[in-house]
Amino acid sequence: MEELIQKLKVQIIEQLNLEDMEPDDIDETDPLFGNGLGLDSIDALELIVLLEKEYGIKIENPKDGQKIFYSIKSMAEFIKSHQK
Amino acid sequence: MKAYINGIGAVSPQNTLGKEHFLDDVTAVEERYLQILKPDYKTYIDPKVLRRMSKIVRMSIVAARTALDEAGIAKPDAIITGTGMGCQADTEKFLNAVLDNDEALLNPTAFIQSTHNTMGAQIALMQANNHYNLTFVNRGFSFESALLDGLMLLNEGEVLNLLLGGIDEITDESWLISTKNDMYKVEPLNNLNLLNDRQTGGLSGEGANFFVLSNQKGIDTYTRISGIETFYKPKNSGIIQEKISNFLKKHELDLKDIDLVILGYNGNPLLDTVYSEIENRLFIYQPTAYFKHLSGEYDTAVSFAVWLAAKIIKTGIVPEVVQKRKYTGRAPKNVLIFNHVRNIYHSLILLQQA
């Protein structure tokens, strides 16, 4: 799990071009949107693409997005439970 | 025609941002093309917003903000931009993703930012400005079309002031494609030795040059834009000379009234003859200047010439590095810019002391 969290941090920094940010700067329990990393709706689309491209996981119900993308940890848990 | 330049901002391959220097510290490079000197973007743009912007958007925002700050205007009545090629880096990124991912799983950011009006839109978004906003994409006439639109808006009283910009960026990919039809030079060269380089093509470059135009003269007004004219594919030099003579006549000027002629020499031995014929047959006695050894050639490079002319008229200085035929005489009051892109898109812009 820890390895997956680290990998996700690196991928998110790269995908969202979070300049000047290192994986250690992100707490895996911090919210990705709003007060935490401050991501927005375009970033949400980027994260959906990332999940499908890198992990082959498609989000069937858009309403689940809020829960899945709450934090790095929730994303990692979702990936782990959906990987074949 | 009342159109005063009350603020300017230029991001170019030279140190053109700010008032401290005026081409007294030019950058000489040995490169295949000229790239902008990167400003410290974070002092101009919130890092959270910055991360999603490609180079062309960043340099536009910096140049636009500089021009607006100089003019003391927070929200102009109109934002008009001209770009020949638009957001090339993001377009390439998006198209490469289309190929790499077999037309699936495309990232939204590069797609959203790849349209030509991204610069004008981003500037407006940052000001929450929902006034007139237009982008002209007319190849070698892109900046001229934007300027013409701006002049008409001012003269018809539709706006009191406006932000005008000419922008183009270069990428490795776009440069490589452009060299295929001999548009640009292939081998590295010293930009300050541009006119002696015998390679085919011009020296490619990039830049973002912004101006605040107003119908009122301000305390720090640079100059007045008195006229613009464009003409397409003139058949020979005689026709160009006639166009220039008629343009000057229209503005009640004679050849001898022009203090300085800025010509768009870009180092292409085949097409620079268009300029040398004008210089040697029409403007025989006028001092002349050139600028593309500093900016490089791009569809909206003429906007750099407008920046140069505005600075020359305001400071009364013609920097030695731009002088082609030595400048002697009074501080220039009437400056004419003659530029062409690929001998297809020709334009004349007249700037006069305000």
Distance CA B260, CA B309 (A): 9
Domain extent, residue A34, equals: 2-82
Picking from B52, B54, B101 by the largest number of A CB atoms within 10 A of its own CB, the best residue to mutate is: B52
Q: What's the pTM value of the predicted model, to 2 decimals? A: 0.94
Work out how many domains chain A is built from and give that number.
Answer: 1
Assess A25–B contact: CB distance below 8 Å, yes or no: no
Domain boundaries, chain B: 4-214, 223-352
Contacts of B285 (CB under 8 A, 6+ apart): B256
Residues of A in contact with B94 (CB under 8 A): none
Nearest chain A CA: its distance from B52 CA (Å): 7
* Minimal Cβ distance to A52: which of B48, B50, B105: B105
Q: Which two tokens stand for residue B251?
A: 């503005």
ipTM of predicted assembly, 2 dp: 0.78
CA distances in angstroms from B167 to A77, B31, B230, listed in the order given? 46, 21, 19
pLDDT digits (tens, 9 = 90+) for B122-167: 999 999 999 999 999 999 999 999 999 999 999 999 999 999 999 9
Q: Do B105 and A16 touch (CB under 8 A)?
A: no
Question: Token pair for residue B31?
Answer: 């490169």
Per CATH, B4-214 and B223-352 having the same topology is answered: yes
Q: Name every chain B residue with its beta carbon within 8 A of the beta carbon of A15.
A: 107
Amino acid type, B177: I
B24 token code pair: 């007294």
**Residue B329: band (very low, low, confident or very high) from pLDDT cuts 50, 70, 90:** confident
3-state secondary structure of B211: strand
Is 3.40.47.10 the CATH number for B4-214?
yes
Burial A14-40 (b: 16+ CB within 10 A, else e): ebbebeebebeebebeeebbeeebebe
E strands of chain B, at which residues? 4-11, 30-31, 78-82, 132-136, 161-168, 189-190, 207-214, 223-232, 260-263, 288-290, 323-325, 334-341, 345-352
Asked if residue A61 lies in contact with residue A52, where contact means CB atoms within 8 angstroms, the answer is no
Fold of B223-352: Peroxisomal Thiolase; Chain A, domain 1 (3.40.47)
Q: Tell me, what CATH number does A27's domain have? A: 1.10.1200.10
Nearest to B340 by CA among B259, B273, B294, B253: B273
Return the SS3 of B285.
Answer: coil
Q: Residue A84 pLDDT more than 80?
A: no
pLDDT band at B47 (very low <50, low <70, confident <90, very high): confident
Average pLDDT of chain B, as a whole number:
96
